[in-house]
Amino acid sequence: MRPDDRAFREAFGTAVSGGPRGVAAADRLCDACVELLDVDGAALSIVGNPSAQGTYGASSDLSRRLDEFQFTLGEGPCMDSVRLARPVLIPDLDSPLENRWPVFAAAVLGEGVRAVFAIPVAIATSYVGALDLFRRAPGPLSDEGLTGGLLAAQLGALPLLDMIAEDRTQNSDSPDDDGWSELATLARVEVYQATGMLMAQLDVGPAEALVRLRAHAFAEGVPVSQVAWRIIERELTLEADPPHPERGAGQESAT
């Protein structure tokens, strides 16, 4: 792993977990993108479910407005990135070769923004939203910027899942309100949250973080969800190199 990857993980992990959750965490993650990447704005949006889509995090009022243009106009890179399950990178919306979203492009150019980069956000194996990055000057996103954007997008689902969990608690008598329950069934909220926290804490990818979570649950003989909640509530910290589950959890510490 390159040193900048580690710095990105630490900064984005701190942004997500360093204060109030939900929308506030989404805004902090977008702020971190502007601070660390070569962009002027960032926004997080949920895409796909007409009754539960829109912007849930932004680095500024302008970034929120740019992101919401896509839902108002029914076209834009965040929608395509989710549909195609890959980043959609537009170095210059004003290029004569770029004609995918004429109405959206005109609106964004009218705000003085030339470059837009959309990176899909996933819950489990389903893409449900996107991280949009905006820049006033035309030009491609650097390799380092794309690396950082991909890492930020990995954590972009965590504030959304916090919102889902809160909504389900507040509307326990109406589990289908606003389509949130359908989205929540894509993954156990607490397991996904804990996996994201372990990614930032242990500097590992999502697959390895989930393996370590399951390994600890196996060693302790408890459900994975129980271990996940202890991690979320910061009652348990897994060290960087835990033992094989069959050898016990002697090197893991609870705090």
- pLDDT for 52 equals 62
* Mean pLDDT calculated for residue range 170-184: 48
Q: Tell how strand 41-46 and strand 126-135 pair up.
A: antiparallel
Helix or strand run (H / E) with residue 250: none
Q: How confident is the model over 56-72, as pLDDT tens digits?
A: 899 999 999 999 999 88
| 254: confidence class by pLDDT, cuts 50, 70, 90 | very low
pTM of full prediction above 0.95: no
Kindly write down the DSSP assignment for every residue of 195-244, as one continuous string: HHHHHHHHT--HHHHHHHHHHHHHHHTS-HHHHHHHHHTTS-B--SSPPP
Whether pLDDT at 82 is above 50? yes
Bridging pattern class, strands 41-46 and 115-123? unpaired
The token pair at 40 is 């002027």
Q: What is the set of domains in the chain, with CATH numbers?
A: 3-154 (3.30.450.40), 164-247 (no CATH)
pLDDT, residue 141, reads 96
Tell me the β-bridge partners of 116: 90, 134
Q: Is 20 exposed, middle or buried (0-12, 13-18, 19+ CB in 10 A)?
A: exposed
List pLDDT tens digits, range 110-169. Answer: 999 999 999 999 876 788 899 999 999 999 999 999 999 999 998 898 887 777 666 555
